Structure 1
Amino acid sequence: MPASSESRSYDAVIIGAGVIGAAIGMEMARAGYKTLNVDALPAAGYGPTSNSCAIIRVHYSTLDGTAMAYDGYFDWKDWPGYLGVADERGHAIFHHCGCLIMKTEQNKGLAAVLKHVEALDIPHEHWDADRIRQAIPGYDLKTFWPARRMEDPNFGEPSGGAIDGGVFFPTAGYISDPQLASHNLQRAAEAAGGSFLFNRKVVEIPVENGRVQGVVLDDGTRIAAPVVVNVAGPHSSQINKLVGADADMRITTKPLRQEVVHLDSPDGLNFEKDGIVVSDSDIACYIRPETGNHILVGSEDPECDPREVVDPDDYNRDLTDQAVTQAYRYAQRLPNVPVSQSPKGVVDLYDVTEDWIPIYDRSCIDGFYMAIGTSGNQFKNAGVAGRLMTALIGYVEGGGDQDGKPLAFQLKHLDRTIDTATFSRRREINPDSSFSVLG
């Protein structure tokens, strides 16, 4: 495209307008920054956010991750109040159905999860097998681990024993329209003075004397800013390379292809109305209700499932036998669920780190920050991530040494701080992680 003579200036440019990018734009604008979110796509939340399962849950494999999720729950619980502004498209709805996690051998009876939620006084209930079947009539609780591919001759064969209980979290549910949630955040950011620019790709990030100077767009527009925040989702590693921010990173990100299948509810079960979110590591699936009386089924990434790293601009967007495998895995629990060899569903990308815990951090380039590796398990934390990044940027720009003395970030809804070193680009791989979409 021909070069443009246009030039503008902002306090901060945020690359990306998915749910995390839009939340960062809103929180920074509310803190007084003159912000611009730039996105290569046509609208906020138009990329992987639009296909997010958008599950709001409070269980994580680390204490800081659990605290963040519980803090974020209160944003969603009063979503219109958190936004504080109207949206001509209406507000996204939080379906407050709760979440059940099966106690399995794989998650060691949820011992670590329970330790974290008890430390934070998060409401939860222990359900026995009868209570589970009451909540989901017809559920088969036989154990099937290890998870297998459907072509495995032993697929669907019980392994002996049965699941005898789980933990139910009433502080959980899902958002049925994640793109609308992103649009809501855009409108709230704009009400606070933030701006958004769509259908524009960042092609250059100038640096002088070790500090970013802003961004250059694909139409030649130069935007001056002393702060640039990478929230580019599956393109995050490409953006880092543009500016040389990957030079000192011990934790990196990559775009991972994912499939989610949508099943019809079996006859006699209105899962859209009566269903709950379920995480079941024995069959390596998570599920939630979906509009149209469907059941959405995703993979919890067992060893037998391929982890396909792809080019974020060129990958197979069609469902494969992975989706059929996930459908049949769930049919082990709910035998009457109809399974098609040509299922419905979505294919999109996660932006993941080696330990599936995100990076919320500065970089080795002054003024360049990262909120990346968030896909798959950070949708629920959008508001918290926005506040954390706003505080972290303020801390560093004010002279704080994030690498030497990381910010202790005060949560909004809990009387608790979290150690932002947990999300450092220079951390070691966290051995407490689930190393999966569960975080």
Structure 2
Amino acid sequence: MNHPINKSTQQHFDAIIIGAGIIGAAIALGLARKGKKTLNIDALPAAGYGSTSGSCAIIRPYYSTVETSAIAHESHSYWSNWAEFLQADDERGHSKYHAVGCLVSKTENNQYLRPTMAILDTIGAPYEELDQAQYIARMPIFNIDSYTPAKRPDDEGFGEANGKQIGGGVFFPDGGYVSDPQLATHNLQRAAEVLGSSFKFNTKVAAIRQQAGRIIGVTLTNGDQLDAPIVVNAAGPHSAKINAMVDAQQDMKITTRALRHEVAHVPSPEGFNFEQQGCVCSDSDIHAYCRPETGNHILIGSEDPDCDDQQWVDPDDYNKDFTDQWRVQALRLAQRIQTLPIPNQAKGVVELYDVTPDWAPIYDKSSIPGYYMAIGTSGNQFKNAPIVSEMMAQLIVACEQGQDHDQDPVIFNLKYSGRPINLGVFSRNRKINPNSTGTVLG
């Protein structure tokens, strides 16, 4: 829904947020709760209409560092108490969080999850180790043969077990998925609007204006000028193009690019209701992940093995049709689920991720006073949106009050666990995490 701006009275805002996906809408709510008058500008017709709408919207607690795992685990509590977090009604209703848990296979590729379990022990997040029999008992349509290294269907030996077996798995109860990511974004929009925020759709930013070395507002493609001392880049796959408007990337060690991905939707095997009996599953042996999908379907994503070409694209000019990659991902899951039906007609999603080299987001100020970034979030940060709401609001207010976040990083205390998080871990100038998987699972 587009809430038009009255040009005669509403040209000035405390903050303009470029993007109205899940992250941009969340930041609007966070800043509104700090008393800021915000405007989100988005080129698309509605909140969450772009890459957010194609998100798998998986909520899971495991990452490769203590800080990112602590935040991800905390997100489970926010989604479990979604109405309480929003404190606002939505005429479309609230999105639903399916807390079905996450099952991750123990494989050679993930060191049988020993590092992951050590991190979760540190943050106090629950998990259950499963031996091979327990693994099959939880997911009886799975087999435990190993198929690594990843191959493509035309490669010799594709689909043939290597003579080894996976080592069972680990079940993480504090996880699941949100069935309608676009509705979740609309929920955030409505909650922000209650506090006075505005959203302007079908609108593009042509320039970000500066004066005396700091941000003063934006100019739209129709020539309108909107004033604000704060501009936040939450433009998803377009984030690099927005940064280029102010040369923000010139001093950044971590930058972003748009990556094309396909997600396949296939029916559940006959005799098993994956929507009712399944959970989020991640399997680095077959390099695929999946989750239940509405209509007793299975959603299948790729864990980006080396044998697959990564498609870095211009977010304004890329192939939106399915390719053979759809079939590749379905066949990879069929190694684990050998009764998996694979339709002749491809169904699913083709969308873009906005990613950094280590697949961790940038939540940071820039070298330009008043210009902030919440970027590199696609593919793994949907779950953290409600926390990002509060985290970015605190960071922005602290910086505007004079704190030098580069030298004296903002500390954010997680609401449920009380754990302090040094937001410097999301700096544009951080060192790349050597333990990152370098994939969508971060």
- TM-score, normalization by structure 1: 0.98
Residue 159 of structure 2 corresponds to residue 159 of structure 1: no
Contact 1:244 1:365 in 2 (8 A): no
Query: How far 1:343 moved relative to its partner?
Result: 2.0
For 1:92 and 1:236, how far apart are their aligned partners in 2? 26
Residue 262 of structure 2 corresponds to residue 259 of structure 1: yes
For 1:249 and 1:133, how far apart are their aligned partners in 2? 46
For 1:411 and 1:33, how far apart are their aligned partners in 2? 22
Q: Which stretch of the first structure deviates more once superposed, 190-199 or 376-385?
A: 190-199
Query: How far 1:341 moved relative to its partner?
Result: 4.2
Matches within 5 A, 1:7-156: 8-156=11-159
Q: Which stretch of the first structure deviates more once superposed, 136-145 or 293-302?
A: 136-145
Q: What is the DSSP-based 3-state SS (H/G/I as helix, E as strand, rest coil) of the residue aligned with 2:432?
A: coil
Contact 2:274 2:298 in 1 (8 A): yes
Partner of 2:235: 232
**Which amino acid is the alignment partner of residue 150 of structure 1?**
P
Matches within 5 A, 1:165-314: 165-314=168-317
Identity %: 54
For 2:236 and 2:144, how far apart are their aligned partners in 1? 37
Partner of 1:394: 397
Partner of 1:345: 348
Partner of 1:381: 384
Residue 427 of structure 2 corresponds to residue 421 of structure 1: no
For 1:129 and 1:222, how far apart are their aligned partners in 2? 62
Aligned pair count reads 436
Query: How far 1:52 moved relative to its partner?
Result: 0.2
Q: Which runs of 5+ in 1 are unaligned?
A: none
After superposition, the Cα gap between the structure-2 partners of 1:72 and 1:5, relative to the gap in structure 1 and judged at 3 Å, is closer
For 1:236 and 1:138, how far apart are their aligned partners in 2? 41
**Which amino acid is the alignment partner of residue 347 of structure 2?**
K
Contact 1:48 1:350 in 2 (8 A): yes
Partner of 2:439: 436
Query: How far 1:5 moved relative to its partner?
Result: 7.6
Contact 2:146 2:163 in 1 (8 A): yes
For 2:308 and 2:188, how far apart are their aligned partners in 1? 35
**Which amino acid is the alignment partner of residue 303 of structure 1?**
D
For 2:435 and 2:181, how far apart are their aligned partners in 1? 29
Deviations 1:269-302 (A, max 9, x none): 1111111100100000010000011000000111
For 1:32 and 1:419, how far apart are their aligned partners in 2? 24
Query: How far 1:79 moved relative to its partner?
Result: 0.8
Q: What is the DSSP-based 3-state SS (H/G/I as helix, E as strand, rest coil) of the residue aligned with 1:8?
A: coil
For 2:172 and 2:153, how far apart are their aligned partners in 1? 31
After superposition, the Cα gap between the structure-2 partners of 1:276 and 1:5, relative to the gap in structure 1 and judged at 3 Å, is closer
For 2:141 and 2:74, how far apart are their aligned partners in 1? 35
**Which amino acid is the alignment partner of residue 361 of structure 1?**
D
Query: How far 1:164 moved relative to its partner?
Result: 2.6
Deviations 1:307-348 (A, max 9, x none): 101110111111111110000000001111111343211100
Q: What is the DSSP-based 3-state SS (H/G/I as helix, E as strand, rest coil) of the residue aligned with 1:9?
A: coil
| RMSD, aligned α-carbons | 1.2
Contact 2:112 2:167 in 1 (8 A): no
**Which amino acid is the alignment partner of residue 65 of structure 1?**
T
For 2:371 and 2:394, how far apart are their aligned partners in 1? 14
- Give 4+ residue runs of structure 1 displaced > 4 Å after superposition: 4-7
Q: What is the DSSP-based 3-state SS (H/G/I as helix, E as strand, rest coil) of the residue aligned with 1:196?
A: strand
Deviations 1:337-385 (A, max 9, x none): 1113432111000000011010000011100000000000000000111
For 2:137 and 2:236, how far apart are their aligned partners in 1? 40
Which residue, out of 398, 401, 410, partners 1:407? 410
Q: What is the DSSP-based 3-state SS (H/G/I as helix, E as strand, rest coil) of the residue aligned with 2:241?
A: helix
For 2:167 and 2:114, how far apart are their aligned partners in 1? 15
Contact 2:60 2:175 in 1 (8 A): yes
For 2:7 and 2:363, how far apart are their aligned partners in 1? 34
**Which amino acid is the alignment partner of residue 437 of structure 1?**
V
Partner of 1:323: 326
For 1:131 and 1:223, how far apart are their aligned partners in 2? 59
**Which amino acid is the alignment partner of residue 67 of structure 2?**
D
Deviations 1:375-410 (A, max 9, x none): 000000001111111111111111101111111111
